[in-house]
């Protein structure tokens, strides 16, 4: 590829950087633009806040809680509804410096499809399907924890749009590689691996859960080792379909990002790190570019799946 060594291709789209700003962390792209020195152009793509068919107020507090290794969140998909996003927000985004993805949510297959259909008639370049939402017709079980339901959601969305579809996979399931296969065969163009893990925090003095919803999604450095493994596992499936992966879960610096790329990611998602340092993307880009230079690598895409599976333990001081 010509130009910057950080330029990469994802589902036919050109990213300035392999960094993707994750859904819910920058709202609809305007939260961090108020931070001096921040630029959307430091990322390759932005995934907008999860959007449902109707407006949602979200959960009552507490909705965020910092943990020793990251953050718990239970926002509850607070958003103004797809009509407001399509009418008032999507037309006013700056598409000249970064790619934009809608994040679509629903409580039934039909709702997912309708939200996807509405976003199809916008300038947004793609859509991420949040299949971790609960299926109200199946007693609240998350779509993303059942490969059959995951595939049905992807298939329904694929029928109403030709834009790139990214299936956001849950780690809270038995076989993520099988779910990845089913989503890709149903029409997904790429994968986002992983969504948050379920966790909780307790106030010992009151003996009550800290999060008003009792449980919340755990993100941040605590989940990085598991996220890396899930990216590696899904990459074995994704490469057979020539499908790219957004690797995400605890990326705080350039070294973390490089690990996800080596495990099989084409792009890397940054979310919780933004709460620690709103300007972290620029630093991650610089650290990746420095790594490429030191290793005489022309483009960041050469790192994808370049993991060496020979352990090298024969030369380790702890071997034997």
Cα–Cα distance measured from residue 190 to residue 125, given in angstroms and rounded to the nearest whole number? 13
Cα–Cα distance measured from residue 288 to residue 156, given in angstroms and rounded to the nearest whole number? 38
Residue 214 included in any domain? no
Residue 283 included in any domain? yes
Q: Which domain holds residue 282?
A: 8-59+75-198+219-315
- Yes or no: say if 73 and 66 are a contact pair by the CB < 8 Å rule: no
Q: What is the pLDDT of residue 314?
A: 47
Assign residue 157 the CATH number of its domain: 3.20.20.70
pLDDT tens-digit readout, 68-120: 999 999 999 999 999 999 999 999 999 998 999 999 999 999 999 999 999 99
| Phi, psi values for residue 218, rounded to 5° | -90, 125
Residue 97 included in any domain? yes
Residue 106 included in any domain? yes
**Residue indicated by tokens 């994968």:** 191
Q: What is the pLDDT of residue 3?
A: 79
pLDDT tens-digit readout, 108-133: 999 999 999 999 999 999 999 999 87
Q: What is the pLDDT of residue 53?
A: 97
What does the pLDDT average to over 149-168? Answer: 97
Distances (CA, A) of 315 to 171, 173, 262, 309, 312: 34, 37, 21, 15, 6
Cα–Cα distance measured from residue 52 to residue 103, given in angstroms and rounded to the nearest whole number? 9
- Yes or no: say if 227 and 195 are a contact pair by the CB < 8 Å rule: no
Report the domain count for the chain: 1
Structure tokens at 275: 């709460």
Residue 46 has pLDDT above 80, yes or no: yes
What does the pLDDT average to over 256-261? Answer: 98
Share the mean pLDDT of the chain: 92
What does the pLDDT average to over 299-303? Answer: 98
Q: Which of 37-51, 109-123, 288-302 has the least mean pLDDT?
A: 37-51
Residue 236 included in any domain? yes
Q: Is 214 left (phi over 0), alpha (psi -120 to 50) or beta?
A: left
Residue 213 included in any domain? no
| More confident: 147 or 137 | 147
Q: What is the pLDDT of residue 139?
A: 59
| More confident: 253 or 32 | 253
Residue 206 included in any domain? no
Residue 210 included in any domain? no
Residue 210 has pLDDT above 70, yes or no: yes
| More confident: 227 or 29 | 227
133, 157, 183, 281: the active-site residue: 133
Q: What is the pLDDT of residue 311?
A: 65
Residue 7 has pLDDT above 90, yes or no: yes
Q: What is the pLDDT of residue 140?
A: 58
Q: Which of 97-106, 139-148, 295-304 has the least mean pLDDT?
A: 139-148
Cα–Cα distance measured from residue 78 to residue 123, given in angstroms and rounded to the nearest whole number? 23
Examine the residue annotation and report whether 133 is marked as an active-site residue of this protein: yes
């Amino acid at each position: 590829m010509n130009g910057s060594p950080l330029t990469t291709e994802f589902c036919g789209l050109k990213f300035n950087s392999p960094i993707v700003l994750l859904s819910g962390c920058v709202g609809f792209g305007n939260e961090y633009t108020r931070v001096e020195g921040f630029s959307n152009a430091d990322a390759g793509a932005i995934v907008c806040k999860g959007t449902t068919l109707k407006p949602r107020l979200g959960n009552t507090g507490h909705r965020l809680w910092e943990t020793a290794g990251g953050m718990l969140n239970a926002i509850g998909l607070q958003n103004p509804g797809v009509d407001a996003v399509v009418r008032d927000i999507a037309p006013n985004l700056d598409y000249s410096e970064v790619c934009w993805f809608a994040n679509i949510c629903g409580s039934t297959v039909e709702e997912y499809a309708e939200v996807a259909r509405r976003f199809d008639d916008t300038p947004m370049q793609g859509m991420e399907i949040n299949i971790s939402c609960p299926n109200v017709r199946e007693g609240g079980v998350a779509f993303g924890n059942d490969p059959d339901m995951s595939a049905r959601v992807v298939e329904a969305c694929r029928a109403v749009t030709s834009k790139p579809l990214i299936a956001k996979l849950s780690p809270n399931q038995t076989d993520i590689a099988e779910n990845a296969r089913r989503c890709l065969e149903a029409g997904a163009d790429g994968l986002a691996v992983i969504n948050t893990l379920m966790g909780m925090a307790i106030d010992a003095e009151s003996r009550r859960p800290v999060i008003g919803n009792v449980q919340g999604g755990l993100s941040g450095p605590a989940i990085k080792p598991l996220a890396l493994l899930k990216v590696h596992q899904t990459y074995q499936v994704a490469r057979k379909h020539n499908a790219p992966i957004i690797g995400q879960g605890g990326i705080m610096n350039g070294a973390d990002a490089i690990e996800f790329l080596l495990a099989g990611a084409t792009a890397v998602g940054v979310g919780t790190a933004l709460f620690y340092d709103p300007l972290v993307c620029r630093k991650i880009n610089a650290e990746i570019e420095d790594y490429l230079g030191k290793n005489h690598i022309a483009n960041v895409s050469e790192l994808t799946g370049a993991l060496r599976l020979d352990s090298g333990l024969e030369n380790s001081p702890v071997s034997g």
